[in-house]
Structure 1
Amino acid sequence: MRLIAALLLSLFLLSGQPKAGEVVVAPPGPNGVCPVCGMFVAKYPEWAAAVVFKDGHTHYFDGAKDLFKFMRDVKSFDPGHSAADIAIVAVTDYYGVKTIDARDAFFVVGSDVLGPMGHELVPLATKQDAEEFMADHKGKRILSFDQVGAELLKSLDKGGVK
């Protein structure tokens, strides 16, 4: 009986552990708003993104697009922090609906899938998932974290991808 209980406890504990590429970020509270657009983030958990600073302070976003806008100008959105203070940058994987490290994610742009703020960068955990998503949803490009630039963000806000 003890062996069964120990095995069940082990399975329970292991199931709660993050898998490779996943990061642990507390979910946004019901009144948490995106610092970029003011939208309530908890309404859209499948699109949620976050920045966690070394001091534990966390900002939540309603999608990767606003996360990238924040990252381009941290000081204007949060004068008390800088980009150097960031410990974790997280997005929600579209297929797994799990929080993953944004710096390792692949982002599909130009697809027929819209986020809470319209045209969005769709985060995926693997290149294979991104290729599959792109084929299924008429995506235009797959980008890495470092390839997302200001012009692309402006283009997404205007309803498309250049």
Structure 2
Amino acid sequence: MKRSLRLGTRGVIHRLAAWLLIFSLSSVWAESLQLPAPGPKDTCPVCGMFVSLYPDWVATVVYQDGHAHHFDGAKDLFKYLLNLPKYAPGHNRDDITRIGVTEYYGLSRIDARAAWYVIGSDMLGPMGHELVPLGSEEEAKDFLRDHRGRRIVRFDDVTPLLLEQLDQGKFD
């Protein structure tokens, strides 16, 4: 009896470890980023739209002092980050503690630096052609295929030229 209990416990532990590994690799169980939600009067500092009207697209920057700026999509978030003197005079990129985007499939808030972005798809955001955030490379590849996307980019791949091309509907 003691032997079968020990083997049973070992089997449970092995199964539990396998499930934990599977879940940790899945973006469905990826750790959500804790970010404040935009209020009804919060406007995007880039375009001026009311952010809370587009909860599926919200992106957020949080500073060390706790204040946050919200955006109606990843595209405006990147415009902001790439030109802080224009959109946030007096703010410094080094003072940013969290940058989050809403991932497409699970609608959870994830770290913008860890996201995978599809551009040139048939899915339009509040401001037109958008960087669609996904939680994993596999999800990005599926979205690219399912929504006729042009390519996948990462956080550091986003440039002012890429954002300009998105605004113009060009994805070369």
| Counterpart code for 2:77 | L
Report if aligned partners of 1:105, 1:125 keep a CA contact under 8 Å in 2.
Answer: yes
Q: Tell me how far 1:22 sits from its aligned partner.
A: 1.9
Distance in structure 2 (CA, Å) of the matches to 1:135 and 1:69:
26
Residue identity (%): 53
RMSD: 1.3
1:58-112 alpha-carbon deviations (Å, 9 max, x no partner): 0000000000000001122112311111000100000010000000000000000
Aligned to 1:96: 106
Matched with 1:85 is 95
Tell me which stretches of 4 or more aligned residues in structure 1 moved more than 6 Å: none
Unaligned runs of 5+ in 1: 1-18
Task: Note if 1:160 corresponds to 2:139.
Answer: no
Where 2:113 maps in the other structure, the secondary structure is helix
2:85 is paired with a residue of what secondary structure? helix
TM-score, normalising length: structure 2? 0.82
Which residue of the other structure, out of 101, 108, 120, is the alignment partner of 2:118?
Answer: 108
Between Structure 1 and Structure 2, how many residues are aligned?
145
The corresponding residue for 1:119 is 129
Q: Which amino acid aligns with 1:67?
A: L
Q: Which residue of the partner structure matches residue 52 of structure 1?
A: 62
Return the alpha-carbon distance in structure 1 between the equivalents of residues 44 and 170 of structure 2.
22
Give the aligned residue type for 1:134.
L
**Letter aligned with residue 127 of structure 1:** E
What is the TM-score when the length of structure 1 is the normalising length? 0.86
Report if the CA contact (8 A) 1:21-1:101 is conserved. no
Aligned counterparts, 1:1-162, within 5 A: 19-162=29-172
List alignment gaps of at least 5 residues for structure 2.
1-28
